[in-house]
Amino acid sequence: QSVLTQPPSVSAAPGQKVTISCSGSSSNIGKNYVSWYQQVPGTAPKLLIYDNDERPSGIPDRFSGSKSGTSATLGITGLQTGDEANYYCGTWDSSLSANWVFGGGTKLTVL
């Protein structure tokens, strides 16, 4: 059971928009920066969003991040078949057992 909750799967058609939610608590998302990672099966994860809503150089502006309270959201517009992957959110948890935590991951299917 992950500390951060993500939907197991989402799907949408090419060209459409999809959002992936990441729900946490006041000790993690509510207090710290969130980052998002894309992992195509068989490859290493890649950073998509850091500090809640910042994109590293080279990441298209089709990818966006936001945070409100104890939840964060990854948005992907203009879906492409190459976007099919698993997506993970992550943040620091400042509870007594301080720890970096990831969501369980969301499988994106582009129909």
Partner 1 sequence: QVQLQESGPGLVKSSETLSLTCTVSGGSISSYYWSWIRQPPGEGLEWIGYIYYSGNTFYNPSLKSRVTISVDTSKNQFSLKLRSVTAADTAVYYCARSGRSSPRWFDPWGQGSLVTVSS
Contact positions toward partner 1, by CB under 8 A? 2, 32-33, 35, 37, 43-47, 50-51, 56, 88, 90, 92, 97-105
Question: Given the complex with partner 1, which of 102 and 109 has the nearer CB atom?
Answer: 102
Residue pair 8/109 in contact by the 8 Å Cβ criterion: no
User: Considering beta carbons, is residue 14 or 54 the nearer one to partner 1?
Assistant: 54
Q: How far is the CB of 40 from partner 1 (least distance, A)?
A: 12
Q: Give the SS3 label for residue 105.
A: coil
Nearer to partner 1, 37 or 111 (CB): 37
User: 65 has which bridge partners?
Assistant: 74
Least CB distance from residue 14 to partner 1, whole Å? Answer: 27
Q: What's the closest the beta carbon of residue 34 comes to partner 1, in angstroms?
A: 9
Sign of the alpha-carbon dihedral angle for 49, 29, 85, 11: negative
Nearer to partner 1, 12 or 102 (CB): 102
DSSP line for 11-46: EE-TT--EEEEEE--TTTTTTS-EEEEEE-TTS--E
Q: Which helix H or strand E contains 110, and what residues bound it?
A: strand 106-110
Least Å distance, CB 2 to partner 1, is 7
